[in-house]
Amino acid sequence: MQFESTTTLETAEPMVTPLHAAPLLRRKRTKESIITMVLFLAAFSSVLVTAGIVGTLLVESLTFFQHIRLVDFFTDTQWTPLFSDPHYGILPLVSGTLVTTCVALAVSIPMGTAIAIFLSEYASKKWRETLKPILELLSAVPTVVYGYFALLFVSPLMQKIFPEMGMFNMLSAGIVMGIMIVPYVGSLSEDAMRAVPISLREGSYAMGSTRLQTALRVVFPSALSGISAAYVLALSRAVGETMIVAVAAGMQPNLTWNPTEPASTLTAYIVQVSLGDVPHGSIGYQTIFAAGLTLFVMTFSFNLVSFWLRRRYRQAY
């Protein structure tokens, strides 16, 4: 006797009829709308925070400039707002900021770029996975530790080269600041160079180029957009650094372009006044907002230059 059996195949998902599809579609659209709104609020909050910071600087600085003329602010060579004979020339603070930043970039850009080329083009995977985390550990060291390292180790070492140099100077502060921002340059530049397609490297090798020629003439120009972003991030980090220059540079407003002399920076002065000794609302207290606005304009200008460079080299390559 032969038995015939029939089996009913059950699908994993029930069939969705048009009657059930409408509520599912509405729920999906509601979820998408909620996610879109949350993402929009997250992005818009950054705009609000930036607008609030700029607005605060402008309002407080406007009160300051009602008492101090812009001509005196940009042309006076003395910055002594807390003295009995006050002067409000921002140039000493600007010169100190620029000198320490230039020294830091002179250290960090060549060193960071060389590290990025080595990690991207020469190091094996094992070496890269070992060295890159160690490099990024430099960013975890507190800046006040860097400041005392500059004061107690780098300054005595520099005094052996420049015997006339004092303990507080911009050179030591700038060198240590450059060491501090090497991870920003090296890590971000290496990421940009690793993102260059391997086909460009293979084409360069096929033409008989060496590794160094490929790195400098093919990979580096192709990754220049990301590398320039790393440079600008390092520049902004150097301009905004506070504790290293406050500890090692001397906090003495001095209009000089000689890095072996002591000086103060915009950020160091803001910290000095913000300690609480200056009465709130006084003209001396409002100088920190004028210095902050100057620092903001400098950083914003550097970012505009970086945006122009990235746009230009993206079109070129």
Give the N- to C-terminal CA distance of the chain in Å, as an integer.
80
CATH architecture, domain 91-315: Orthogonal Bundle (1.10)
Residue 38: the pLDDT is 92
Residue 41: the pLDDT is 92
Note the pLDDT tens digit of each residue in 44-79.
998 899 899 888 888 888 888 888 888 888 888 888
Q: How many residues comprise the chain?
A: 317
pTM value? 0.81
Judge contact between 262 and 250, C-beta under 8 A: yes
Residue 5: the pLDDT is 47
Tokens, residue 315: 């079109």
Q: How far apart are CA 259 and CA 248, in angstroms?
A: 12
Residue 76: the pLDDT is 86
Burial (0-12, 13-18, 19+ Cβ within 10 Å), 216: middle
pLDDT (tens place) for every residue of the chain, 317 residues total: 444 444 444 444 455 455 566 777 778 888 888 999 999 999 899 889 989 988 888 888 888 888 888 888 888 888 888 887 888 889 999 999 999 999 999 999 999 999 999 988 888 888 888 888 888 888 888 889 999 999 999 999 999 988 888 889 999 999 999 999 998 899 889 988 988 888 888 888 888 888 888 888 888 888 888 888 889 888 888 998 888 998 998 888 888 899 999 999 999 888 888 776 677 777 888 888 999 999 999 888 888 877 777 676 665 55
Residue 157: the pLDDT is 92
For residue 308, CA distances in Å to 92, 229, 303 come to 29, 11, 9
Q: How many CB atoms lie within 10 A of CB 139?
A: 13
Angle, helix 283-316 to helix 266-273, in steps of 10 degrees: 150
Three-state SS string over the chain comes to: CCCCCCCCCCCCCCCCCHHHHHHHHHHHHHHHHHHHHHHHHHHHHHHHHHHHHHHHHHHHHHHHHCCCCHHHHHHCCCECCCCCCCCECCHHHHHHHHHHHHHHHHHHHHHHHHHHHHHHHHCCHHHHHHHHHHHHHHHHCCHHHHHHHHHHHHHHHHHHHCCCCCCCCHHHHHHHHHHHHHHHHHHHHHHHHHCCCHHHHHHHHHCCCCHHHHHHHHHHHHCHHHHHHHHHHHHHHHHCCCHHHHHHCECCCCCCCCCCCCECCHHHHHHHHCCCCCCCCCHHHHHHHHHHHHHHHHHHHHHHHHHHHHHHHHHHC
